[in-house]
Amino acid sequence: MAQITTIPASNPAAQDSKTYEALFLVSFVFVLLIALAAQVLFLKWRAWLPGAEGEKSLIKGVRSGVYTFMSHLN
């Protein structure tokens, strides 16, 4: 006779959190590379990212743009 085994279900909230963090990291690196390239070419990249217009530093501007992008995904 076949033996039936059960697999414990993982916590879906923890999986969603890891997915969200991974998506944020990938988005942050992608937008950072675009911002760095635009900065080197002396382009006004902050106008391209909603939420980043008022930020003075590169990292804060990228973070604001990525947070705005992530808020549209929900």
Domain edges within the chain: 23-73
Predicted confidence (pLDDT) per residue in 9-62, tens digit: 667 777 788 999 999 999 999 999 999 999 999 999 999 888 888 888 999 999
The two counts, helices (H) then strands (E), for the chain are 2, 0
Q: 41 by DSSP, 3-state: which?
A: coil
64, 43, 44, 42: which is closest to 52 by C-alpha? Answer: 64
> Which pLDDT belongs to residue 26?
96
Instruction: Please tell me whether the overall predicted TM-score, pTM, comes out greater than 0.95 for this model.
Output: no
56, 74, 66: which is closest to 34 by C-alpha? Answer: 66
